Chain A
Amino acid sequence: MRYAMAIDTKKCVGCSDCVIACQLENNVPVGYCREWVVESTNGTYPNLEMEFRSERCHHCANPPCVRCCPTGASHIEEGGVVLVTHEQCIGCGACIASCPYDARYPHPEGYVDKCTFCIHKVRKGEQPACVSVCPTQCLYFGDLDDPNSEVSKKIAIRKYKRLKTEAGTDPQLYFLI
């Protein structure tokens, strides 16, 4: 099993609903976030193009944050989901420094927090909060090992890019372009 997410940049309107749904679902304190939206514009008026990307932890297959964690709090769980066990985390911030995507934040309670792919929902057969709330349905989540999953089907037929692959992280967010 290999969980992954595909983000259709052609449909995303950058509304940040994913961010708010995530904050509420996961009790992320106001002022912090596990995911964010990037607006990227190229060109000069009126020859322009623009892309919106809903971003979060890339749940890398080769995650530097797990390798550098001194306590083992950062670890890989079922389906390749990268998680932090809050009770084991000493908040040293090594993982934050090692992440090329800046996907982790120091929670005011003293531990490091990040996207979990809403594994608590996924285990119940539900979709992550960001996926189920997205008004444009531009987020697809599922198992890459299952060719019939939404995410596998999208990746099979669409052109996509992954971010900062040069860091050798083998990221598992696929941006459909």
Chain B
Amino acid sequence: MKTTRRNFIKISGAALGTATLAGATFDWVSGSALNKVSPSALQAIRTPTYCEVCFWKCAGWVTKNDDGDIWKVEGHNDDPHCNGRLCPRGTGGVGMYYDKDRLKHPLIRVEENGKQIFRKATWPEAFRVIGDKMRTIAEKHGPECVALFTHGSGGKFLGHLLKAYGSPHITAPSFAQCRGPREVAFYATYGEGVLSPERTDIRDTKCLVLIGSHLGENMHNGQVQEMSQAIDKGATIITVDPRFSTAASKSKHWLPIKPATDMALLLAWMNVLISEGWYDKEYVEKNTYGFDQLKAHVQPFTPEWAYGITTIEPKAIRDTAREMANASPAVIVHPGRHVTWYGDDTQRLRAVAILNALLGSWGRRGGFYNPERISIPDFPHPPYPKSKKSYLDALDGKYSLATEVISNGICEMTTPSPERDCNIKGWIVNGTNLIHTLPDQEATLKAIEALEMLVVIDTMPMEITGYADVVLPECTYLERYDAIRNSPHREPVLSLRMPAVKPKYNSKPGWWIAKQLGTEMGLEKYFPYKNIEEVLDWQLKQVGSSLEEMKKTGVKKFKREYDDLYFADSQEYEFNTNTGKIELYSTEMAAAGFDPLPQYTEHEQPPAGFYRLNYGRSPVHTFSRTANNPNLTDIMPENDLWVNPRVAKQWELKNGQYVWLKNQDGIVSDFSIKVRFTERIRWDSVYMVHGFGHGAKKLTRAFGKGASDTQMISNVKVDPVMGGTGMRSNFVTILLEKPNEKEVTS
């Protein structure tokens, strides 16, 4: 391996010492399970938390065992996110706490005898190194040149630190790698986003349309629960997916669409609803802008036109449109969540938004409800300094409708280029393993190579930690306080996370790390409190509760104050758009130079011998962050490659055989992946669960297990509207033999 300034360092070996026994995970109390399962005295003491395994953030209770250590986490009955039932990841969340591979001490990159290693450090030492680097960057380049990537609760406090320091560059992969196009499209149409948890009224819907959204495999708890309720009530489910997903198996209509042609189907559905007069005329008349333009626009997009593109028969398109219209307004054309697919994603989600408007489902029972949350003031602090520069200035007006900072834009701004004056020089990365999160790994690594400072704050020795100058071990959600969870829902609801136990090892909570770093950097006036309890208690008292109350109740619901859950028929509504109406024809998109009505764009199809790489979720894993969790890997230790038996026959594959993948750019997977024959996948695609194929050896359970879809995603289709990274135009072929041993980063 070429020696660079930033060699990947294994968090292991001499620097840290102790080896971990592979597979040794829990020190269970064993013996007669039946007799010993119920801890007596301590069982009564339970502490509230909300889950951090995914971003649904279900509230729960932590129960301890007889040793006073964590036994289990169970859902909170009063929490609308989970209704007393956590999903498998939440139930297995205890594995995050018990994982022996956790980061245990602060680490500082040093060079010893020409070799870069991590030195175990004290917290003050680590803060000093970071403080010095951040001061230097602020003086030399300006504080805007430090960015924060965050995908965890600690990000709230670190974001506050960064704003106090003077940088607006706070970004999360949840926007440009996930739901960004959806939010931008719905803002353009309705003046409001779909939000999280999604405002879909699934429990009362009569017809649920899922487009590539695999609820049930994606265990966003409340939605899966409501889908089950809808099944109980006899709702019609329509699933559009090239793969026979779990949701497809629950559907009355499964439309096995040719990948990358969804837009054609959406336009054809609009065509049918309008030409047959099945749309909600009263609602459209009263609430929308641009119907005539839309009508003229979709006129050529007949089901017969779409058939040739999508391979969905015209009758099936008409039948499903009829089903939707029959259920209207209690129908949801679900906007999905991870929607960065082909680069025209905002336009596709605009089509979804328009379809819902035609069906009159926005603001209606069984469609989309009006969520509400209460307002909690920030703990008082001095105003933030004004930032002088934004990364957007340097992007020449690209991605002008982005509503959040684009992570890949920050990455682009970090990579040196002669055309730019301000490059980003420092990253703080919290709770997101960017190596497995951002597509185009080469670009990510190039950006990292150019950094003057990379600080990683995580609970696990993920790949990204290997590139850090300083690694700070955050304690898990079960060992810390965090900000109050304040979610928009049918009723406003708050939830408290408090530590069930003291942090293991020398790990610390995110709020403490931010406060200490702030103090180190002379920003202590922004942290005018002794501890987080003081902040939480003050905030809760502003809304009529207290920390003491929340410690007992865990969750608190509030009455709605503003509008009704659904629109009242008699009332006039003003939408937060330029025209005050639901914009079928988007004046905002038009003004920004984009198509005001969604157009069909043809996308690449795989060349001969290659298959479209589709990827998705497993109910027991959250991206790459759970890949080492002992409880969850016990259920699913690796991903497999779904291959249609016809394709398998051509390749003379055996079920269960391990193969390597090579993509259209010649990138070969670091690790092999197990073939799974299944009729559930088309012959032009393969499928794998995202988040596997870890190259960090210290992740003893995850290392080398399965293949990484992210590694295969080098063809990124960036959405010109908001900078989302379309990831589904990558094609792979199968290598039966292990390719020439190349150096694997580890």
Contact = CB atoms under 8 A, between A and B. Distances in A.
A33 to B, nearest CB: 8
Contact of A27 (B28, B216, B244, B249): B28
A136 B228 contact: yes
Nearest to B217: A13
Nearest to A22: B91
Interface string A26-58: 111111010000000101111011111000000
B680 A50 contact: yes
B244 A50 contact: yes
Interface in B191-250: 215-217, 219, 221, 224-225, 227-228, 231-232, 244, 246, 248-250
Contacts of B85: 17, 132-135, 137
Contact of A17 (B29, B35, B88, B246): B88
A45 B682 contact: yes
B473 to A, nearest CB: 23
B631 interface: yes
Given A45-B679, A46-B256, A48-B679, A26 B228 contact: no
A14 B619 contact: yes
Contacts of A68: none
B91 A20 contact: yes
A33 B630 CA distance: 14
Contacts of A113: 33
A86 B32 contact: yes
B94 interface: yes
Chain A: interface size category: 35 or more
A116 interface: yes
Nearest to A21: B91
Contacts of B38: 120
Chain B: interface size category: 35 or more
**Which of B25, B84, B216, B225 counts the most A-chain CB atoms under 10 A from its CB?**
B216
Given A10-B250, A15-B219, A135-B219, A86 B31 contact: yes
Contact of B678 (A21, A23, A41, A52): A41
Contacts of B683: 45
Interface string A122-145: 000000000011111110000000
Interface in B44-97: 71-72, 74-75, 82, 84-88, 91-92, 94
B26 interface: yes
A137 B228 CA distance: 8
A82 to B, nearest CB: 12
B634 interface: yes
B41 interface: no
B619 A133 contact: no
B36 interface: yes
B34 A116 contact: yes
Interface string B92-131: 1010000000000000000000000000000000000000
Nearest to B70: A24
Nearest to A43: B679
Nearest to B36: A27
Given A13-B217, A31-B23, A45-B679, A86 B631 contact: no
Nearest to B249: A50
A19 interface: yes
A46 B254 contact: yes
A78 interface: no
B247 to A, nearest CB: 8
Nearest to B58: A135
A18 to B, nearest CB: 8
A119 B74 CA distance: 18
A24 B94 contact: yes
B4 interface: no
Given A14-B246, A16-B619, A133-B74, A24 B631 contact: yes
Contacts of B244: 41, 45-46, 48, 50
A83 B34 CA distance: 9
Nearest to B231: A11
A133 B219 CA distance: 13
Given A13-B216, A46-B244, A50-B244, A30 B75 contact: no
Contacts of B608: none
B83 to A, nearest CB: 9
Contacts of A31: 23, 634
A138 B71 CA distance: 25
B231 A10 contact: yes
A20 B680 contact: no
A10 B216 CA distance: 12
Contact of A15 (B35, B619, B679): B619
B650 interface: no
B592 interface: no
A113 B37 CA distance: 14
B249 A24 contact: no
Contacts of A29: 26, 28, 30
B296 interface: no
A23 B631 contact: yes
8 contacts: A15-B87, A17-B86, A17-B91, A20-B88, A48-B249, A86-B33, A120-B37, A137-B225
Given A13-B250, A27-B28, 8 more contacts: A14-B246, A16-B635, A20-B620, A21-B72, A50-B246, A86-B34, A133-B85, A137-B225
Interface of B: 23, 25-26, 28-38, 71-72, 74-75, 82, 84-88, 91-92, 94, 215-217, 219, 221, 224-225, 227-228, 231-232, 244, 246, 248-250, 254, 256, 619-620, 630-632, 634-636, 644, 678-683
